[in-house]
Structure 1
Amino acid sequence: MTRTDDIPDAYDERSVLLQMLHYTQDTAVAKVSGLSEELAHRAPLPESPLMTPVNLLNHLRWVERSWVNADLFGGEDEAPWTDEDPDAEFRQGEDLTVTEAIELYEQEAARTRATFAEVELDMVRRGGREQPVTARWILLHLIEETARHNGHLDILRELADGSTGD
């Protein structure tokens, strides 16, 4: 069955962008859903011991929070990564169950969508960056980042249990 939940109800810019964000977020959840704890925490690539489905979903959660809170609104970056431990959000995922990782990601994803449903897309923010970015750019970046990591999740899922598809 082909998914059609990437098609928005309206075709104005915001509706299209939000639908694509929601679609990529739902795809990430679908790739992790149904995995056993063992498979969700298995890192099949010896060179990437932190690359597991649960850890990657937790990474996506913190990426969204960081871009919205710190970069869009100029607030504190609450993400667990530091200069000393740039992969802390992946390590943090090791302590989450599949259910916890999905719930935490879905909560963050809903907050992200609610923010972009209201914020002015032309709003310019500098955050901690040298060059300013707009809310639109951040939204597009989150779609791109989630879609790119969905490719990773797709491979991890296929290696875990052979599942393929949307």
Structure 2
Amino acid sequence: MTPTDTPESFDERSILLQMLRYSQETAVGKVRGLSQELARTAPLPTSPKMSPANILNHLRWVEWSWIHEDLYGKTRTQEPATGSSFGEGSVLPLEDVIRLYEEQAAATLEVFAEVDLDMLMQGTLSDHPLTARWILQHLIEETARHNGHLDILREMADGSVG
């Protein structure tokens, strides 16, 4: 099924959740189908960890962190295996990177389907009273921004566009 950014209904939550889902599905689509080697290739000499697998893995940890540490204020209980969300994608098998991201993406959508969007975050990241709504919108922005990177990296890897 081709990802779509059009929600089934047009209330605020439905729109925001569909935009996040669309961005998440697009990220997976840009990585899926690459060989292990191409998924781990970082073609930019100035960004040696900027590979498709590392970006997707980074997005997983970004979502995890914003929900657990920032929204709910929990102490970090998990770390990327390499200590870096941008390095772990280079050691995990690509199918694991994709599966783990899809699991986190589903969990993220589940949280934001239920949470009060006006809830103030419990973490201490910011001196500003950030809300769940802001975090959700930030995750949309973060994922969409990295989708631009994935789009370019995929084209460089195997010529796929679109």
Check whether the contact 1:65–1:79 (CA below 8 A) recurs between aligned residues. Answer: no
Corresponding position: 1:113 with 2:113: no
Q: CA deviation at 1:80?
A: 2.9
Equivalent AA in structure 2 for residue 41 of structure 1: R
Between the aligned partners of 1:95 and 1:151, the Cα distance in structure 2 is 23
In structure 2, what is the equivalent of residue 161 of structure 1?
A: 158
Q: After superposition, where does 1:1-166 map in structure 2 within 5 Å?
A: 5-78=4-77, 80=79, 88-129=84-125, 130-165=127-162
Between the aligned partners of 2:121 and 2:3, the Cα distance in structure 1 is 34
In the comparison of the two structures, how many residue pairs are matched?
159
Cα displacement string for residues 113-142 of structure 1 (whole angstroms, at most 9, x for unaligned residues): 000000000001241222220000000000
Between the aligned partners of 1:89 and 1:126, the Cα distance in structure 2 is 23
Q: CA deviation at 1:48?
A: 0.8
Q: CA deviation at 1:148?
A: 0.1
The root-mean-square deviation of aligned C-alpha atoms, in Å, is: 1.5
Q: Report the TM-score when normalising by structure 2.
A: 0.93
Equivalent AA in structure 2 for residue 150 of structure 1: N
Between the aligned partners of 2:21 and 2:77, the Cα distance in structure 1 is 23
Equivalent AA in structure 2 for residue 157 of structure 1: R
Between the aligned partners of 1:39 and 1:78, the Cα distance in structure 2 is 31
Q: CA deviation at 1:49?
A: 0.8
Q: CA deviation at 1:89?
A: 1.1
Check whether the contact 2:3–2:26 (CA below 8 A) recurs between aligned residues. Answer: no
Cα displacement string for residues 55-90 of structure 1 (whole angstroms, at most 9, x for unaligned residues): 000000000000000111111234537xxx9x7111
Equivalent AA in structure 2 for residue 114 of structure 1: E
Check whether the contact 1:79–1:89 (CA below 8 A) recurs between aligned residues. Answer: no
Q: How much identity, in percent, do the aligned residues show?
A: 59
Q: List alignment gaps of at least 5 residues for structure 2.
A: none
Q: List alignment gaps of at least 5 residues for structure 1.
A: none
Q: Report the TM-score when normalising by structure 1.
A: 0.91
